Structure 1
């Protein structure tokens, strides 16, 4: 039985919930280092705190993938996990920036870290099934389009989430400066708004999508008999089965793992250290003002340093919005380019653009202040900070490819009845490099680069270039046809 073609808007509805999820991720990526620093974390420890994110992905995604493969109820197969995860994630987004409110019961930084971990786990529960849903619902000849639309929505969400703190400060007038132990009001309200959009967009996908019933689904996938598994298994049996599934994963998953390692090693560094790198490199904030002990010794942050760090933190959001916008634009043509030139060439070239973007970061240090018209407001920033939008073009192109190309390559190689669990296992290739990056990056920054964060950004560039080269080790049969 031939799987029916979907209209553009049906494909759009499948992934619309990813818009809200990515708003949450953008707020996390742009502001968690800022929040944890405000709550007392020192610069070289930030990468260790950020380990909560990949560890949650490593634990949660395979479990959710396997569970969603076996779930068939009135709501659907993947949709129940999306909705449940969104509810928990939204609650955690409301709590995270308010960690200082529970200082009487638990240290605010510890509370913030716990809520960060819960929030990231809920994000993983929510977004993991979106990858499998596209593979389930979109026929093979529309798969490039399906993942490109998903990438488009992801990056629209990233633009919105990235600029929220900046807009609330420069348009709505909320304060963006923080004091030790407190989070800036603009960041707090950004998380409130993001939580509301997250719930609304996921609810749209749940209400507007009807998954195929089991018999119809397996007929479309060319499987005449629905695979069955014993109703009850011991933990040991489940662990053994999971290990066996991992060992027998398609070869192309192993090949893509090397590309994923270099790509996500770089991204983790960016999300952790961009705020510090931009404050130091563009605003000229001395490294010592990122040391909590020094700040305490000096009796707190001077007003001008607090203002500079706040302005740099807001500009990080604009730069993230920039690379997300460039990713949106590239996503519009990425499927056509992949069909024309092959996925490997497009994937490799995109990662190379990202690597060159990171490496060029050090070139933009002009401290002269200029006034910039952003249409919604005018701001006065260093020329070097504005020029950093140039590297964002390459980083945005790489980001669009990272979000779509591995899954478009992988989806056709997975058995229909194990798509969810294999997509979950594939998340190891996202989580593991971030964990390694988290364990090493802080030590490298402190011991080799004396906490000058611009150099760790350049290290990320070298890693991304290696990712571009390793794409050519991937045997993508479809791209050869």
Structure 2
């Protein structure tokens, strides 16, 4: 039995909520460094404050993926309860964030905001697979990418729009400009309404319908059984690696965020040890063993795509953290976060981010399908990765702020590709019953590189290029070259027209 084909309206309704979610992410990505520096934080400490974003994603996404596979709440269904809960919490966080009285409060609100956005976002990835036939996965993720791009354009332009309306874009030292405050408030309302539209305009397939669409496969049995056969050697290895990271931080006086990296490695090792022990005792339904078992038993294609994601998102997180201080220092000639020039740079970065997201929205519906028909999904993504590397490298050559538009065009093509191609390649190869958990685990390779950047990049820059954030773009370009090489190991055929 086949799922019915979705028309254009159905495709749009399924992903429209992502328009609002991405408004929230865009406001966060373009403005959090600005908020932290406006509250008085040093540039070298920004990666440590940004650690909230990847850490919450690392913890939240697998859990939400696991739970959403097993949820059915009356008329709300399987994924939509998480859309609603996350949207409410994220909207509240966006309303409170610009009222932060101090850096610690802003960092705490970033944790809450990112966790809430992840609660809504993770099930949206699986929602496309739930609602669409396999031959519509590519167009489904392309439409989702278009909404992501459109939402990011709106979120990125909010502060500049507020300034054009006569709202003050500067504030006394230690305070956040009104342009940013109002942008976050309007963004919170837009986020909630967009997610609510998807909730009321879609109706999920019932568990019995899903079972009819895709009968259970013997290979989909709980992976906790396979986990019981594993030894504790790997767990001990993770713990040893974490202890080594902590000792290196102490020995070389690196930034304290490296200790958090070590603690996470130790925590994962302990979690693996506990999961194996529970599985050996015959507990196959506990969440920890299920998540660890599914992570250890990822399909080979997923493992190869995970390497590509790791390098791709390392580059993206470097860009989100550093673009504002780079543009302020090298294109507007200031490092003073309280100056009008710095705030003007912050608004220009918002417009640049809007440009790359606008390019992504257009490329997702035009360039990527055209390339996929001729090159296949894998080689299309290689083109996107190469465009990203060119975009980041060009920051070294362009000094006129307006010329950075060319950089953002290349980055926009890369952004469209990274949001659509890996998920389109992966979705058709995963069992429907585990789509949520596997999408959650796949997104671990979105957040782990961000976590590494947040914990390690500050120490690297402090040691090699203190006060020179432009060199982070070299690391970003190199990361995308590594992603390009990793993508070459994956092959897909062109899509028949």
Class of the TM-score when normalised by the shorter of the 2 chains: 0.7 to 0.9
Superposed CA deviations along residues 173-217 of structure 1, whole A, max 9, x for unmatched, are 111113222111000000000000000000000000000011111
- Say whether residues 1:79 and 2:48 are aligned partners: no
Superposed CA deviations along residues 308-344 of structure 1, whole A, max 9, x for unmatched, are 0010000000100010111111111212321332001
CA contact (8 A) 1:344 1:479 kept: no
Shift of 1:222: 3.4
- Say whether residues 1:124 and 2:173 are aligned partners: no
Superposed CA deviations along residues 282-302 of structure 1, whole A, max 9, x for unmatched, are 01115xx46xxxxxxxxxx5x
The equivalent residue for 1:311 is 344
Superposed CA deviations along residues 153-183 of structure 1, whole A, max 9, x for unmatched, are 00000000001101101x2111111322211
The equivalent residue for 2:231 is none
Match of 1:199 among 188, 192, 195: 192
Match of 1:339 among 353, 373, 381: 373
Does the C-alpha gap of structure 1 residues 224 and 253 become closer, same or farther in structure 2, counting only changes over 3 Å? closer
The CA RMSD over aligned residues, in Å, is: 2.2
Does the C-alpha gap of structure 1 residues 447 and 327 become closer, same or farther in structure 2, counting only changes over 3 Å? same
Match of 2:204 among 201, 205, 211: 211
Rounded to whole Å, the distance in 2 between the matches of 1:478 and 1:419 is: 24
Superposed CA deviations along residues 405-435 of structure 1, whole A, max 9, x for unmatched, are 1111110111111110111111110011111
Q: Normalising to structure 1: TM-score of the pair?
A: 0.87
Question: Could you list the runs of 4 or more consecutive aligned residues of structure 1 that deviate by over 6 angstroms after TM superposition?
Answer: 227-230, 233-236, 477-481
Unaligned 5+ runs, structure 2 = 225-281
The equivalent residue for 1:415 is 431
Superposed CA deviations along residues 361-393 of structure 1, whole A, max 9, x for unmatched, are 11111xxxxxxxxxxxxxxxxxx1000000101
Q: 1:53-64 to 2 correspondence within 5 Å?
A: 53-64=53-64
Does the C-alpha gap of structure 1 residues 471 and 224 become closer, same or farther in structure 2, counting only changes over 3 Å? closer
The equivalent residue for 2:40 is 40
Match of 2:292 among 226, 243, 249: 243
Unaligned 5+ runs, structure 1 = 101-107, 291-300, 366-383
The equivalent residue for 2:268 is none
Rounded to whole Å, the distance in 2 between the matches of 1:364 and 1:154 is: 28
Q: 1:290-439 to 2 correspondence within 5 Å?
A: 301=338, 306-333=339-366, 334-365=368-399, 384-439=400-455
Shift of 1:241: 2.6
Rounded to whole Å, the distance in 2 between the matches of 1:429 and 1:92 is: 25
Q: 1:422-461 to 2 correspondence within 5 Å?
A: 422-461=438-477
Matched residue pairs, number?
438
Rounded to whole Å, the distance in 2 between the matches of 1:241 and 1:395 is: 37
Q: Normalising to structure 2: TM-score of the pair?
A: 0.85
Superposed CA deviations along residues 229-262 of structure 1, whole A, max 9, x for unmatched, are 89xx979943223211111111111101111111
- Say whether residues 1:223 and 2:216 are aligned partners: yes
